[in-house]
Amino acid sequence: MRLLLALLVAVSTAACAQERMLVFAAASLKNALDEANAAYGAPVVASYAASSALARQVERGAPAQVFISADAEWMDYLARKSLLVPSTRRNLLGNRLVWVVPINSAVDALPATGRLALADPQHVPAGKYAKAALEKLGKWNSLEKRIAAAENVRAALALVARGEAPMGIVYETDARAEPKVRIAGRIAPDLHAPIVYPAAVLRGAPPQAQRYLDYLGGAQAAAIFEKHGFHVVR
């Protein structure tokens, strides 16, 4: 009897492990996606980082089943390498950029000195959007040497929250998730490419990956994303 019970537990544990969804998602999605995953009817493990870092991990064989990027470029990167299921790709969400300062700061414009916190403008979507906006505003050349480049947008946000940078540019959803910063201004969306979060099932993923992606595109998840400040692509 004990042997049979142990065998049943082992089989059950293995089945649960097999059913657990591993999702690679842009760092800016953490709060909203954690809540959406908690409301999903099956176990989900989400790994958050810069879209660039996650795409390269997938390229190196990481066993993720769904990828949600913060821009089209890194999804295109995996598509060119035939690492996603093309028919499953969909634009899931939108966002916008804002200027943030520490919560007690009276500053509403970039000071003449001090660092400007951005996600890495060479590789990370939030940083690339910010750089494009600053270039259109004619400010990039004067600010380039003052950029505090962070590994992802949440790391850039943390620099401002800790007072290590007097100002930063992050997604509005990130600013809303951090009580130690306030929004000092919004960046016009026509200053950069549209901010879009494409999602897709990765090659070799089991059928439940498509069911999970369908859930993220449904009404229940949409309400959660909108609550956190995302624009749902319909």
Q: In a structure prediction context, what are the per-residue pLDDT tens digits for the chain, which is 234 residues long? A: 443 333 333 333 333 444 689 999 999 999 999 999 999 989 999 999 999 999 999 999 999 999 999 999 999 999 999 999 999 999 999 999 999 999 999 988 887 888 999 999 999 999 999 999 999 999 999 999 999 999 999 999 999 999 999 999 999 999 999 999 999 999 999 999 999 999 999 999 999 999 999 999 999 999 999 999 999 998
Mark whether 89 and 135 lie in a shared domain: no
**128/141 same-domain check:** yes
Among 44, 224, 186, 194, smallest CA distance to 232 is for: 224
Q: Are 171 and 195 in contact (CB under 8 A)?
A: yes
Q: Give the chain's domain count.
A: 2
Domain match, 57 and 84 both = yes
Q: What is the DSSP string of 130-187?
A: HHHHHHHTT-HHHHGGGEEEESSHHHHHHHHHTTSSSEEEEEHHHHHH-TTEEEEEE-
Q: How many other C-beta atoms lie within 10 A of the C-beta of residue 38?
A: 9
What residues make up the domain containing 85? 2-94+196-232
Tell whether 163 and 123 lie within a shared domain: yes
Q: Global pTM?
A: 0.87
What angle, 0 to 180 degrees and rounded to 10, lies between the N-to-C axes of helices 125-136 and 153-161?
70
Does 153 share its domain with 67?
A: no
Laid out side by side, the sheet with 44-49 consists of 44-49, 21-26, 66-68, 196-201, 90-94, 231-232
CATH number assigned to the domain comprising residue 25: 3.40.190.10
Whether residue 227 sits in one domain with residue 116: no
